[in-house]
Amino acid sequence: MKIEGRIFHFVAGFCFIMTVVYGVCTGLWATDGIEPVGLVALLLTGGLCLIAGTYLSFVARRVTKRPEDNDDAEVSDGAGELGFFSPGSYWPVTLAFAAAMGGLAMALWYTWTIVLAAVLLLISVGGFVFEYYLRPNKE
């Protein structure tokens, strides 16, 4: 995870440098002065990358070394179980549909569709999260 943290820190530094360059260039060559939207967008992008990189750097200190972090690792070092992935779940499809419907509804600003998409999104997230939840056995 150290590598991922470094990549995010590099991108954050690049975004901050480009923020300064963008501000100077638009201040010198634009007729209306410094363009604020692009400046803020670059600044916030750099900030978000810095947050992600800092998180990954802190987590990298606490977890054991992964095969990806070892320079002398073999392909077989990463073999084994990676986790549980649902083989036949339809909830990701419903979640994607609800999110797309919500985005389209907000773009067109149909209030009734926004409400419908929000309800569908909540149902889809609930179904996705609790798909394999089993109630405890009653004694």
**pLDDT above 70 as % of the chain:** 96
CB contact set of 92 (below 8 Å; sequence gap of 6+): 128
Q: What is the pLDDT of residues 27-80, one digit of tens each?
A: 999 888 889 999 999 999 999 999 999 999 999 888 888 887 788 888 888 888
CB contact set of 49 (below 8 Å; sequence gap of 6+): 8, 9, 11, 12, 15
User: CA–CA distance from 3 to each of 8, 25, 58, 62 (Å)?
Assistant: 9, 32, 12, 15
CB atoms within 10 A of CB 44: 12
Is the predicted pLDDT of residue 1 greater than 90, yes or no?
A: no
Is the predicted pLDDT of residue 136 greater than 70, yes or no?
A: no
Place of tokens 């007729």: 31
Ranges of each domain in the chain: 2-70, 91-129
